[in-house]
Amino acid sequence: MEYTIETHDLTKKFALQKGFTDFLLHPFRKDEMTAVEEVNIKIKKGELFGILGPNGAGKTTLIKMLCTLILPSEGTAYVNGYEITKDSGKVRRSIGFITADERSFYWRLTGRRNLKFFASLHNFYSEDAEERIDELLSLVGLEERADDRFLSYSAGMKQRMAIARGLLNDPEVVFMDEPTRALDPGAAQHLRGFIRDRIVGDEGKTVFLSTHHLPEAEELCDRIAIIDEGRIRVVGTLDELKAGLDKPDPGLGDVFMHYTGKEFERGAAPKHVYPGRRRMMGGGRPGGMRF
Ligand SMILES: Nc1ncnc2c1ncn2[C@@H]1O[C@H](COP(=O)(O)OP(=O)(O)OP(=O)(O)O)[C@@H](O)[C@H]1O
Ligand SMILES: [Mg+2]
């Protein structure tokens, strides 16, 4: 297959929870919101592809579908040549999924013990596992702290441990959902260098990452897809995206404005919420309440 990731009209709709009044007024109405709408993207092997969008744009939902954690409502996708619904087991074995959610580790265990546990879920045991774990600990620069408890790590170390875990099965494709969230600017900068030089450069992995940080997408990604309200508005290299604008030396914020008609910081209006809730959340301001 020519592409490592290929999506065809990939769509996810979520059922909306009804409030009491809505339930009384429209008991049989089925309300849903579209979190990801007809996404068509193609990503080649070894690419560092970024999906950029504000809060609620649909980034995590898209990644979860590609990682087979949730089912699409319509459309489909192929990852490493496997269809995400029919061959979900094969997709899972060939990918790594890295999130900033550190709660999925066992805090009282050491970093090494955590990795041993997750290696066993990939059917790696004893010497094979130990060798791979040592290799990964050295890749993420945590050999010296490997035998300390997970709870004693800094946010940056926890994130590096999450990367080591995501690479345990030596995946072809690595999905990262906002990998630098919760890191200070220095640690984030270090991690970006690590992703580009080691994971993509040395290891030759295909990386699909999400971010809502404009400079991160600008600095890191070979190609960027801008997503807003569930729809991909444009895809291209930074130069290609900028070339579409009539402005001298535009930034990614200008590109976002050009293709979505709004400023990046204001983000997507949560238009799927019920009018009553929308008033509570944002007083009707476009963009709603920002956190
Ligand atoms: N399980 C769910 N049930 C209902 N709605 C959901 C669910 N998961 C996500 N959504 C909605 O889908 C939309 C997209 O959410 P998603 O988490 O994909 O956004 P995101 O781009 O990852 O945002 P963020 O930058 O805040 O992480 C949001 O409006 C969200 O409320
Ligand atoms: Mg998200």
* Cα–Cα distances in angstroms (integers) from residue 188 to residues 156, 179, 181, in the given order: 8, 8, 8
Ligand nearest to the CA of 36: 1
CA distance 197 to 99: 20
From 59, 177, 233, mutation site for ligand 1 pocket: most ligand atoms within 8 A of C-beta: 59
Tokens of 133: 């774990």
Which atom of ligand 1 is nearest to 62's Cα?
18
8 A C-beta contact, residue 164 and residue 140: yes
Q: How far apart are CA 97 and CA 126, in angstroms?
A: 23
Round to whole Å and give the CA distance between 187 and 232: 29
Sequential DSSP letters for the chain: ---SEEEEEEEEEEEPPPPHHHHHH-TT---EEEEEEEE--EE-TT-EEEEE--TTSSHHHHHHHHTTSS--SEEEEEETTEETTTTHHHHHHTEEEEES-GGGS-TTSBHHHHHHHHHHHTT--HHHHHHHHHHHHHHTT-GGGTTSBGGGS-HHHHHHHHHHHHTTT--SEEEEESTTTT--HHHHHHHHHHIIIIIIIIT--EEEEEES-HHHHHHH-SEEEEEETTEEEEEE-HHHHHHTSSSSS--HHHHHHHHHSS-GGG----TTS-HHHHHHHHTT-TT----
> How remote is the CA of residue 155 from the centroid of ligand 1, in Å?
24
pLDDT at position 188: 84
Residue 110 main-chain phi, psi, to 5 deg: -75, 165
* 53 Cβ inside 6 Å of ligand 1: yes
Q: Which ligand is nearest to the CA of 61?
A: 1
Instruction: Confirm or reject: Cβ of 231 under 6 Å from ligand 1.
Output: no
CA dihedral 239, 241, 244, 248 (to 10 degrees): -60
> What pLDDT does 116 receive?
93
**Residue 251: what pLDDT?**
87
**CA 251 – ligand 2 centroid, Å:** 23
- Give this prediction's pTM: 0.86
Q: What is the mean pLDDT of each run of 10 residues along the chain (291 residues)?
A: 92 85 76 93 96 94 96 97 95 90 88 93 80 89 93 90 91 92 81 89 93 90 95 94 86 90 65 40 33 25
Alpha carbon of 43 to ligand 1 centroid (Å): 23
Q: How are beta strands 74-79 and 82-83 bridged, if at all? A: antiparallel
Strands 206-211 and 173-177: parallel
Whole-number pLDDT of residue 1 = 65
Any atom of ligand 1 within 6 Å of the Cβ of 60: yes
59 lines ligand 1 (CB under 6 A): yes
What pLDDT score was predicted for residue 272? 45
> Please, what is the Cα angle at 122 between 61 and 97, to 5 degrees?
25
- pLDDT for 289: 28
Q: Could you give all domains of the chain from N- to C-terminal order, each with its CATH number?
A: 5-21+31-94+171-252+262-269 (3.40.50.300)
CA of 149 to the centre of ligand 2 (A): 28
